[in-house]
Amino acid sequence: MDTAGFLNIKGSEIVGADDQPAVLRGTSLGGWMNMENFITGYPANEEGQRQAIRQVLGQDKYEFFFDRFLEYFFTEDDARFIASLGLNLLRLPVNYRHFEDDMRPFEIKASGFKHLDRVVELCAKHGIYTIIDLHAVPGCQNGDWHSDNPTHVGLFWQHKHFQDRTVHLWQVLAEHYKDNPWVAGYNPINEPDDPSECLIEPIYRRLVDGIRAIDPQHLIFLEGNHYARDFRMFGEPLPGVVYTHHDYAAPGIVAGGRYPDLVAGQYYDRETLQETFLSLSKYMLDHHVPIWVGEFGAIYTGDSETDAMRDQLVRDQLEIYKHYHASWAIWLYKDIGLQGLTYAAPESPWRQRIESFAKKKARLGTDSWGGRDTHIRHILEPLEQTFAAEFPNYQPGPLGSQKRQIKRLVCQILLAEALLPEFAELFRDMSETAIDEMMQSFLFKDCIIRKPLAETLAAYAH
C-alpha cells in the first residue's frame, strides 16, 4: 500500500500532500451498507425488508444472511478491478442503523465498523481513496426509499433529537477515521431535502463544527439542498469543505428516450448537459472552490441502441467534468443489472430465486428508480384526474409534482410495503449453507462487467 497524505483544498482544486492537484474519479458502493430496492431486488425500504426477513429466518439466520451479503458484495477482487481502471475513489453509502438502534439512541454498536473498516482497508491497499457517505440519517433526510424512509416525510428536519444523534454519530466516525489519510473525507448527509430551506445551512455548520472538534484534517463534502441540486440558501463557503451536487440527466433515466433528442419537451445534447452542469455548479464556480459530482449515471435497458446512446451520454458528461477539473463518482458500482458497472449474473442463485418476484414488482411499478407504471395506469389515472380537478394548485415540494407524489404514495409505499412478506417468504427454511451459496452471487468473479461503461471510465480516469 502506497503512503497517502491527507487531501486538502487550494483555491478551486483538491490537492494532495505534495500540494499538487488530486482529482477524485471513481464510483459508489450503493446497495451495500445502505441497501436500495432497485439495486438488489427487494421492495420498499431497507428496514422493512430486514424486519420481514428476520421474521421468516429468525435472529441467527437473519444475521448470517446479511453478514454474508456484506462480505461477498465487495472483496479484494472488486478493489483490484476498480484500481485496474485507473479509478482512485470509492464512495461508501452507509445507513446509520449499522451503528445505532432507534430504541437505544446514542449507544454506538462497534460491530458497524466490521465491514466498513474492511472495505476502507482493501481500497487503501490498492491506492483507492474512500469517502464515508451517511446515506440514511436518523429520522430520514428526505422522503424517499434511499434514506430508508417507510413514509414520504423527512422527519430529520422536524426533530432536534434526530439532528443531535446525527452529529454524535459523525463525531464517532471522525474519531475512528481521523488518522486514516486514505479516507478522503466525510459526506455528512446524502441528498438532503429541507423543505423550509432555512435549516440546512445551520445544521451543516453544526455538523462541520462537531466533526472539526474531533478531526481537523479530513475534507468534508456538503451536498446542495433538494437532493443535492440547490445551493441558493448557502452563505460563504466553509474552510476545508468541498461542495457537491448530483447530475442525473433526463435522457439517462428509464423513460428518458433518445440522446441527443427531445426529452419531456426539452432538447438534450452535449451543450444542454454543459448548461445543466454549470447551473448546478454555479455556487462553486462563483466562490472558486472545488467541484465534486457526487452522483451521475444512466439506467440501462438491455436494448443495444438505447444503451449505446446512454454510454455516449456518460462520455459527454465525463468530458465536461474533465474540462472543468471536477471530481466525480458515478452511480453505481454493483447491482442486479439496471445501472451497475458490474452486476450479478441472470443465472446466479440470487437472481434465479427472486426472478418471478422481480417481475411482479416491476409489473406493479414499486421501484422509483428504474420502475414503470405502465401496468397500473388504471389505478393512477383516476387519482391524477381527481387531483388535477380538485387540487390544481397542489405542489408537493419545490421539485415535486402531483403525479410523482401519487406514484410515490401508491406504488413505492402502499404496494411496495404489501410485497414485503412475499419477498421474505422466498428465503424461508433456507440453511446457512444455501444462504452462503446464494450470497456468493455477488462475488466479483461471478458477476458480469458492463464493458462499454468500464472502458469509458478507464478512458477518463486520468
- Looking at the annotation, which residues are catalytic? 191, 295
**Structural contact between residues 90 and 29, judged by C-beta atoms closer than 8 angstroms:** yes
**Structural contact between residues 272 and 251, judged by C-beta atoms closer than 8 angstroms:** no
Cell 455516449 belongs to which residue? 312
**Structural contact between residues 203 and 182, judged by C-beta atoms closer than 8 angstroms:** no
Q: Of the candidates 151, 128, 40, 152, which has an alpha carbon nearest to the alpha carbon of residue 80?
A: 128
Q: What angle do CA 404, 405, 406 make, to 5 degrees?
A: 95
Q: Of the candidates 325, 314, 340, which has an alpha carbon nearest to the alpha carbon of residue 82?
A: 340
DSSP assignment of 68-88 equals HHHHHHS-HHHHHHHHHTT--
User: Quick one: CA dihedral 7, 8, 13, 17, positive or negative?
Assistant: negative
Q: Of the candidates 240, 312, 260, 298, which has an alpha carbon nearest to the alpha carbon of residue 8?
A: 240
Backbone angles phi, psi at 431, to 5 degrees: -80, 165
Residue 122 is classified by DSSP as H
* All cell numbers assigned to 208: 462541520
For the chain, what's the residue count? 462
